[in-house]
Structures are given as C-alpha cells and as structure tokens.
Amino acid sequence: MYRKQKLIIYIFLISAILAVFWQVNQFDFISLDDYAYVAESNHIQSGITMDGFCWAFSTTHAEFWHPLTWLSLMFDYQLYGLNPGGYHLTNLILHILSTLLLFQLFNRMTGAVWKSAFVAALFALHPLHVESVVWIAERKDVLSAFFWMLTLCLYVYYTEKPVIRRYLLVVFSFVCALMSKPMVVTLPLIMILLDYWPLKRFELNKTENNLTGVTHRKDLLWLLWEKIPLGILSAIFSVIALYAHYIPSRKHFPLSSRLANALVSFITYLEKTFWPHDMAVSYPFSDHFQMWQVMFSTLLILIISAAVIMMRKRFPYLFAGWLWYSITILPVIGIIQVGSFAMADRYYYLPSIGIAIMLAWGIPSLINSYNISKFILIPLGVIFIVMLSLLSWEQCGYWKNSIGLFNHTLQVTKNNALAHNCIASSLAKEGQINLAFYHFNEAIRINPDYADAYNNRGNAYLGSGKHQQAIEDYNKAIRIKPDYADAYYNRGRAYFIHGEYKLGCIDAKKACESGNCEILKIASDRGLCR
C-alpha cells in the first residue's frame, strides 16, 4: 500500500507539471538575457569543447560565476542547436526531477506521505515558480535546485550512517549546486535546521557500549563541526559571487532604501504565496516607501518570528519552515544590491519550500478530528493546488515571446523602464519602429540614466539610417557607463558606416578593451584598422 501511494504521487506530480508547463516547448527566446546566455553567445554555440570548458570555469559573464550552468547550455546546443524549445524542455526536466527529489526527501525524513506530497506539489505548481522554469536564462535556478535537493537527500543518507564516503557525496553534490548558482550558499544552515526537525539530531544521541557500559554523546558541537567544510565552501563562493556582481557604474541605492525594500519584499513574497497576482519578470525598485508599509512589514515579521520561537517545542515544523524561508531568502532580499529591481519571482523558488512545510504540517496539527482532516482538509488542499495550477498555466502563457511577456509586465507594474526597453528592442526587430521609439522614450523618461535604453535606441536609429542620432545616443550611453563594450562596438559600427574610419578604429579598440573584439577583428581584416 505504501509503495502504491508513492507511485500514485510520482505519477500525479509528473502529470500535473507536464499539463501546466508542456506548452513551453513552443516558446521563443526572451530578449532579456536569453540572447546573452544562448542566442548570441559564441561560446555556447561552439558546443562542449576544451576552450568552452575553460571559458565556463573562468568567466563571470552575465555577472555570475556558474560554470555548470554554461556547460549545460553548451550541451543543449549540441542537442538542439538554436531551437528554443529544447532548452525549455531541459528546464522542465530539471524542475520535474527537483520536485520528485523534494517529495522523496521529506517522505524519507518524516514518513508523512501526503504531507510530503503537498510540499512537493506546492513547489511544482505555484505560479511564482513559472519564471524559474520557463525562462531559459534561469537555467541556473532549476539546475542549482536539482543539486540542492540531491545534496539534502544525500545528507539524509549520510545521517543514517555517518561515514566519510557518504559525506564526500554530500560535498560533491553541494559543490555542483554552488557552481550552478551561488544562491545555494545557505544550504549548510538548512542542514542544521533539518538536524533540529525532522531529523531530531539536536537531541543528545546516547549510545552505550555493551562491553564497557560507557555512554557516548554526539552533541550540538559535533553537528556544527561536520558542517565546517561546507561552510568554508559557502564563504568562498559568496566572495566569488560578490566579485562577479560588482559593477562600478551601476546605480547604487541608499542602505535605508534597501532595508525598507527588503522588509516589504519579505512580506510581499508571503502575500503572493496565498494570492498570486500581478506577477512580472521585473519589479521596479522604489526609493520611496510609505512608512506604514515598512512598519507593518516589520511588525508582522516580528510577530510571526516570536510566535514560532515560543511554539518551537510543540510545533517544531513551524519553526523549521519559517527559518527555511527566512534563511534562504536572505542572500537575495536586496540588502546587498545585485540589480536594480525590488524583488524577483525566481528568488522565491527555494524559499517557498519553508512556507509549504508550515502549511503541510501546521494546518493538520490544528485539527484533531480524522474525519475533518479526511473529508474537508484534503479536498481543500486539492482545490488549492488545482487553483495554483490554473494560475501557473495562465502565467506560463505570457512567456511565449518577448512582446507578450513585457506587455503583460507593463500592465501589472508602474514606471517599469526595463520592460519598456525590452519591448522596444523586440518591436524594433520586428520592424515596428514608431512603437519601438515610443517605448524607448518612455524608458529614458522613467530613468534618464538608463545606458541600455540609449544604446538600444541608438541601434534603432542606426537601423533607420539616422546615423547622427544613433551616435548621439551611443555618446550618452558611454557617458553613463564608461566601460560599456556594446556601446563602443555600436558607435564604432556607426562611424564605419558613416565613413569615419579613424573614429571607428578608436571605438573598435575600446570595445575590445572592454571585452568585445569582434568589430576590431573585422576592421583589421579589411585593412581599416592597424
């Protein structure tokens, strides 16, 4: 009966995920990051070669050091070429595997089949997770999540018989997770959390030697000691991540604004857990929060934290779930700035598991009647999962192409310069120049220091034969971002087209110094630059 239940759950999870996400095999590349990661990346399109392997392990391109993510995309290129459906399919497979491992993890630790199934189903089908699954550039999310789940499964395997061979498997899997996305640096803390509940390794483990009668204790100090190698790895990869994300020309928000945003975002993620609405690929950062928002968020965080701490002995799963959410969201909550956005759905991919734990074990603990649990609670849980699935299916549809995605983003957000810039670039490629210029102008109106918008509008001018206007926009982009390789590249191209070869060569060399040597090579081959 137990095996039959597990098989039914596996089949349900796989079928539900395919029903919601199978449509992605018809989706296109998205103009935001997908081109940088695949469609316009010469390194990815070289496939898996020794040069590509070395590049993957040495580059911080796209502001990350995640060599396994690059290698997985190279492998996809060898299989699918530039067919975006193949890359979407790989993301989907990784999401399915992570879901099945998550179910196996909690089922093995707790023996609670249906509660574990609920945690896995919420992870698999929540609308906030659509972004991680359907965005090709978020391969790092689904790949790191797979290794996250695998590492925890191997860790549970290790705790059942703590021997070095099993521990080395944990370390290897954790390194793979770190090389997929640095957000997983909190994993050693989650292991300690699982030691508390449900593994209950915090309770002194007394073992008596049958010959001597001596009692040995494996206490908290040992549990912390065995995490030290993993903690050192986390520290190293955190430093690498901070180095990769450091961009001197990026606008930096005041610490007070970042703290306020972190508090409000912390609660906003919870709100969207139960009421998934207005989901977007980009949420603009606001420098100004109303005081009541910050105070309400702070108060709510303190109340929930105090409650789970006071009830930790009676309801340890509430304490474990709340800390899982709090710990895993902390690196990406925005206190340390890694972008110009307030929050991101993809950042909730792993933290959401903590809230799922609280729901799966917390709600049934409030109901003592078996009949109520069976005939009311289970149907309500099923209805909740079905509703989330329908919302995920709808949210998934917005990702079919760039124009649809960013149109939706503009509908559900305000003053979103990034969305205006991205939709403008897509419209320009499709020849809708007038509408593209409208959105470029809106992006610049919202953010006058938006270098990418000036650069992309310059490309639109250049494509329309307006060389002087293009050069003016490239000039503005370079003034804002002096190390902007693409702007130097594009301005050099404009100079060459305009016949100003000397200026074109200067920009070609500057573009090369900033990392883009393509135009210099072409100009040199044609004898235009020496």
**Joined tokens for residue 207:** 């073992």
Identify the pLDDT of residue 79. 96
Are 507 and 499 a contacting pair, CB within 8 Å?
Answer: no
Are 94 and 243 a contacting pair, CB within 8 Å?
Answer: no
Q: Give the pLDDT confidence of 273-317 residue by residue, as tens digits.
A: 999 999 999 999 987 788 999 999 999 999 999 999 999 999 999
Secondary structure (3-state) at 414: coil
What is the C-alpha to C-alpha distance for residues 273 and 384, in angstroms, rounded to an integer?
A: 11
What is the DSSP-derived secondary structure letter of residue 304? H
What is the C-alpha to C-alpha distance for residues 15 and 7, in angstroms, rounded to an integer?
A: 12
Length of the chain equals: 530
**Joined tokens for residue 274:** 């139960």
Are 312 and 197 a contacting pair, CB within 8 Å?
Answer: no
What is the C-alpha to C-alpha distance for residues 166 and 113, in angstroms, rounded to an integer?
A: 25
* Angle (CA) 35 37 41, round 5°: 75
Identify the pLDDT of residue 63. 83
Identify the pLDDT of residue 205. 53
Half-sphere exposure at residue 144, Cβ-oriented, CA atoms within 13 angstroms: 25
Q: List the chain domain ranges.
A: 2-207+216-399, 415-525
Are 451 and 480 a contacting pair, CB within 8 Å?
Answer: yes
Q: 376-385 — which CB contacts under 8 Å span 24+ positions?
A: 378/114, 381/118, 385/16, 385/118, 385/121, 385/122, 385/125
- Residue 13, burial from CB neighbour count under 10 angstroms (0-12, 13-18, 19+): buried
Are 240 and 234 a contacting pair, CB within 8 Å?
Answer: no
How many helical (H) and strand (E) elements, i.e. helices and strands, does the chain have?
A: 26, 2
Secondary structure (3-state) at 284: strand
CA dihedral angle for residue 389, residue 104, residue 176, residue 52, rounded to 10 degrees: -50
Identify the pLDDT of residue 2. 76
Are 396 and 134 a contacting pair, CB within 8 Å?
Answer: yes
Are 153 and 192 a contacting pair, CB within 8 Å?
Answer: no
- Look at residues 95, 102, 98 and name the one whose alpha carbon lies nearest to residue 119: 102
What contacts 336, CB < 8 A, 6 or more positions away? 242
Longest dimension (CA), the chain: 93
Identify the pLDDT of residue 377. 84
* Helix 501-513 × helix 518-525 angle, to 10°: 140
Identify the pLDDT of residue 213. 43
Are 410 and 420 a contacting pair, CB within 8 Å?
Answer: yes
What is the C-alpha to C-alpha distance for residues 387 and 222, in angstroms, rounded to an integer?
A: 45
**Joined tokens for residue 423:** 């939709």
**Joined tokens for residue 133:** 């699954």
What is the C-alpha to C-alpha distance for residues 30 and 405, in angstroms, rounded to an integer?
A: 8
Identify the pLDDT of residue 339. 75
Task: Please list the residues that pair with 341 across neighbouring strands.
Answer: 284
DSSP letters for 350-406:
TTHHHHHHHHHHHHHHT---HHHIIIIIHHHHHHHHHHHHHHHHHHHHGGGSHHHHH
Half-sphere exposure at residue 294, Cβ-oriented, CA atoms within 13 angstroms: 13
User: In which residue ranges of the chain is pLDDT below 70?
Assistant: 1, 204-219, 246-251, 369-372, 374, 530
What is the C-alpha to C-alpha distance for residues 111 and 115, in angstroms, rounded to an integer?
A: 9
For domain 415-525, the CATH architecture is Alpha Horseshoe (1.25)
What is the C-alpha to C-alpha distance for residues 281 and 275, in angstroms, rounded to an integer?
A: 17
Residue type, 233: L
CA distances from 521 to 491, 524, 525, 527 (A): 16, 5, 6, 10
- Look at residues 65, 90, 187, 190 and name the one whose alpha carbon lies nearest to residue 143: 90
